[in-house]
Amino acid sequence: MTQNAIGWAIIHVYHYTWSNGLVAVYVYGMEYAFGAHDYSISGVFEVEPRTCLGFIYICSISLRHTNMSPSEFRAFIETIASEYNGDTYHLTSKNCKNFTDDISHRLNCKGIPGWVNRLAKLGGLCSCLLPDSLEATTVKQLPEYYAYGMCHKIEI
């Protein structure tokens, strides 16, 4: 489905190999996701579809066709990227699922299904029970991903 879906906004859902998941939006041949780092620059990155290292691809969820051209979509994603700095990532309230849901709503799509972000929402409701370490930026994009060209930061 992905190879023939040019112009479609599609959500790709992954399992993380040890404790978390990743949700990315696929449009015009690339996936875009949001991850954490310690700097006040964008945490949005792009990868080839279904290839983000350390994550296991599970499924695709079609949203709708975008009316934006590839260059318009690129400008759109760069604008959004400026709102998602890596040092603002939060495991339960500003994560890759929130990022993907935000993009889908801005593209006038239906948003991500509730089950995709259910664990983070549950964690947010029980935040007083979670350890303080979860309040800090916890999910990192490892430097070796960039060194091997697997993930590319969105430059703004």
Which residues are catalytically annotated? 15, 96
User: Which SS3 state, helix, strand or coil, does residue 77 take?
Assistant: helix
- Strand-pair partners of 8: 65
- CA dist 26 to 37, 42, 57, 105, Å? 22, 18, 13, 14
Closest CA to 33 of 81, 66, 72: 81
96-106 and 70-81 are packed helices; what angle lies between their axes, rounded to 10 degrees? 130
